[in-house]
Amino acid sequence: MSATTAATFDTAAVKTYLLDLQARIVAALEAADGLPFRTDAWERSPAPGAEAGDKAGAATVSPPSPQGGEGDKAGPSALSPPSPHTGEGDKAGAAFNGGGGISRLIEEGRVLERGGVNFSHVTGSRLPPSASAHRPELAGRRWEAMGVSLVLHPRNPYVPTVHMNVRCFVALKDGEAPVFWFGGGMDLTPYYGFEDDARHFHATCKAALEPFGADLHPRFKDWCDRYFFLKHRNEPRGIGGIFYDDFAEGGFEPAFAMTRAVGDAFLSAYLPILERRRDIPYGERERDFQAYRRGRYVEFNLVYDRGTLFGLQSGGRTESILMSLPPIVKWRYDWHPEPGTPEAALYTDFLVAKDWA
């Protein structure tokens, strides 16, 4: 079910939850790593030539950003076709009134080589005509978009990279019911696969969704598998997880409750894996393979990820958008792992469609 109207939309409650989620996750990661995260608060600044009252330039979350992506991404996410990330359609896009965010990041940590947990909240006075042409209920509405997004790149190759985000969008008009939706999910990208880790991560995702309907996990798992796929490599980015967008089933309270369940499940899904694998000895061979596989992460984010692409093409806040990229990456020409090695097992046993939960 796609975006819906509701009698009320509690923007303050959503923002309070997201800020608290960011704080809780950062506190847990700081405790695990032993070093503090940097705080970088930012605000949207007027762009040259912008209309009075409109603000652009420092945007990290810009409409439309179909299905979100990496980095900061709370933007309205199902406003296509056409969508500006293709370079076609409405070049002027939406009108921005303001907003900002808080980027929390760590580099050269004891466990996390690079990572960020970002909050964004941006507002605008109108959506582009391409949005309202295909969704007439959005015409003439001001909008707000907010979310929390994180990407963690651990140093130890036996600890997987992870991505999670939860976000929402609401379009408002005086005297009319709000139009809103939620999106989010989480996915795991191991370099050396462990069946226990895969089953734990997927089982935690499934348990978070079960109170809201038995059909949600298979839907969102399949969506994740299809979205985080490198078509030019014919392989998935990792072992998946869950992904959803344009979600408003049951109205505001049920949809918000489900999104909270996803966000709240992240630490339970990931921290036990990090703690199990963080002290496994490794050498140059493992670091080399990690850097090679990180190349796939970069390829996906810069070639396919819709939030990243639109953020970069629409004057987004580059530092926050590219926070998702790993610090050390390698590429090789036509390289393949030797059969029977742990590196080969990643491809044969983990980068395949499988029901882990």
Question: Which residue positions form the known binding site?
Answer: 149, 153, 163, 165-167, 202, 232, 315-317
Where does residue 283 rank: exposed (0-12), middle (13-18), buried (19+ CB within 10 A)? exposed
266, 329, 327, 342: which is closest to 299 by C-alpha?
A: 329
Known binding-site residue numbers for a divalent metal cation: 153, 163, 202, 232
Known binding-site residue numbers for substrate: 149, 165-167, 315-317
Quick one: tokens of 223? 């969506």
Is 163 tagged catalytic? yes
User: In this structure, is the dihedral angle defined by the CA atoms of residues 143, 246, 119 and 57, taken in order, positive or negative?
Assistant: negative
Helices (H), the chain: 11-33, 129-134, 195-209, 216-227, 252-277, 284-303, 306-313, 318-321, 342-345
Parallel/antiparallel/unpaired status of strands 179-189 and 229-230 = unpaired
**How many H helices and E strands in the chain?**
9, 10
Quick one: tokens of 168? 């929402």
The single residue of 85, 121, 163, 200 carrying the catalytic annotation is 163
* Residues annotated as part of the active site: 163
